[in-house]
Amino acid sequence: MSRTLIRNGTVVNADGTFTADVLVEGEKIAAVTAPGVFTEADTVIDAAGKYVLPGGIDAHTHMEMPFGGTFSADTFFTGTRAAAWGGTTTIIDFAVQAKGTSLLSTLDKWHEKADGHCAIDYGFHMIVSDVNDQSLKEMESCIDAGVNSFKMFMAYPGVFYATDGEILRAMQKATETGSMVMMHAENGIAIDELVAQAIASGRTDPVEHGLTRPPELEGEATSRAIQLARVTGAPLYIVHLSASQALAAVAEARDTGQNVFAETCPQYLYLSIEDLAKPDFEGSKYVASPPLRPKEHQADLWRGLRTNDLSVVSTDHCPFCFKDQKELGRGDFSKIPNGIPGVEHRMDLLHQGVVAGELSLRRWVEVSSATPARMFGLYPRKGVIAAGADADIVVYDPARQQTLGVETHHMAVDYSAYEGMSITGGVSTVLSRGSVVVDGGEFHGSEGHGKFLSRELSQYLV
């Protein structure tokens, strides 16, 4: 078994920081000790002056996702390789049930896409878009197969949209099985009216995507999802929360002790509706749902991250090329494929929150690794630097300076939503289950190294 010794780094776990050596044997962390206890190893990594973090866990990505007649541009290989470049060593992607198909055939299909192709470990959530007796029954088989979180949509009528009655039935099944419902909470029925009115009156630019999806309709849908969860007893996880109104609803529910959780994404912390309003169709690069909000929402989101009303930061990485994909919506913003690329930059972007004093070091690791691990049944295999855990480790240099952009990123997409942004900090070395996958500005990983993670039920419920 190969031994790697990471020496003299500052280990950052969710519960604190300390100077230590980390000994890796094979795929596992064998020991975390005071500096100097072990000296013999095949490889020694000097981490003095650097952080030693549990590998990032991005619990919300979309590789090769079908949407609006096209597919998101990253494959499971290119997307997981880009993730590794940025210090993320686990993704949880979404298998997408098409209407009229079964959950189990969907799961098979996603295994075919991903198995043997990922550079880092991966799991799946299941998108349920067709609620019926069969798919409700199949939720049980998905859980047995390690997929125990089910995303539903209050948006996108005619595509993924579920009625309140369908949501209620799926939530009852989640309660019965101890599984989790994840909610895309936007009032899609009202939004579709606003969209139709905008198009009919000739308002077709990308910024209209934001104006026709007002934050109140995210707040309303979030409250409704919370009440349905309360009535049924189901644990509820609000995905990609963007608006102050939605955060207020989550905070109120959490204050009562309800099992309601939420994630936000870096784009909502750093980008705004001003980006959507960029001229010459540039705004299309920033079209995602929920939309980017006015800047005023950002301070609330940072506060939510500190108070744990927002427990997780995921990327909702869903890349579509500007040239041949976003283009589909020129002249009609409602046809722009929804999604923003970001899987590579989550750890770095959140580190800017540490630099700016918005987050503590340990909280950075908590929202990006430890809590996603607990939330989605991967702890303590993932999400912690401790003996017995998988050796998914990031040696992070807080002093590095870098500039984000399409010329240097590794995602298979022809633009960066963060073009020109200066970043303090950056990954030095990344290990995935004991193998060095990124080091010294080079990728050393391989397609197929990543293994499917059959997940336990959530370890985060109150």
Task: Report the interface residues with ligand URP, using CB under 6 A.
Answer: 62, 184, 240, 288-289, 316, 318, 338-339
Nearer to Zn ion, 218 or 316 (CB): 316
Give the residue from 340, 334, 341, 316 showing the smallest Cα distance to 156. 334
Instruction: Give the whole-angstrom CA distance, residue 431 versus residue 439.
Output: 9
> What's the closest the beta carbon of residue 338 comes to Zn ion, in angstroms?
8
Q: Which of 218, 316, 344, 358 binds Zn ion (CB under 5 A)?
A: 316
For residues 2 and 26, the answer to whether their CB atoms sit within 8 Å is yes
Instruction: Give the whole-angstrom CA distance, residue 277 versus residue 284.
Output: 9
Nearer to ligand URP, 289 or 311 (CB): 289
Nearer to ligand URP, 77 or 160 (CB): 160
| Contact characters 321-340, Zn ion, x per CB under 5 A | x--x----------------
Binding partner at 114 among ligand URP, Zn ion, none, C-beta below 5 to 8 Å by kind: none
Instruction: Give the whole-angstrom CA distance, residue 319 versus residue 73.
Output: 5
Place of tokens 């001003």: 274
Binding partner at 225 among Zn ion, ligand URP, none, C-beta below 5 to 8 Å by kind: none
Binding partner at 324 among Zn ion, ligand URP, none, C-beta below 5 to 8 Å by kind: Zn ion
Binding partner at 123 among Zn ion, ligand URP, none, C-beta below 5 to 8 Å by kind: none
Nearer to ligand URP, 288 or 404 (CB): 288
Binding partner at 339 among Zn ion, ligand URP, none, C-beta below 5 to 8 Å by kind: ligand URP
> What one-character DSSP code corresponds to residue 317?
B
SS3 22: strand
Instruction: Give the whole-angstrom CA distance, residue 47 versus residue 379.
Output: 25
User: Per the structure block, which two tokens stand in for 331?
Assistant: 């002249």
- Binding residues with Zn ion: total (CB under 5 A): 4
> What's the closest the beta carbon of residue 86 comes to ligand URP, in angstroms?
19
> What one-character DSSP code corresponds to residue 455?
P
Instruction: Give the whole-angstrom CA distance, residue 254 versus residue 235.
Output: 11
Place of tokens 């990594």: 45
Nearer to ligand URP, 210 or 339 (CB): 339
Give the residue from 258, 102, 129, 247 showing the smallest Cα distance to 188. 129
- Which 165-224 positions form the footprint of Zn ion (CB under 5 A)? 184
Catalog residues that contact Zn ion under the rule CB under 5 A.
184, 316, 321, 324
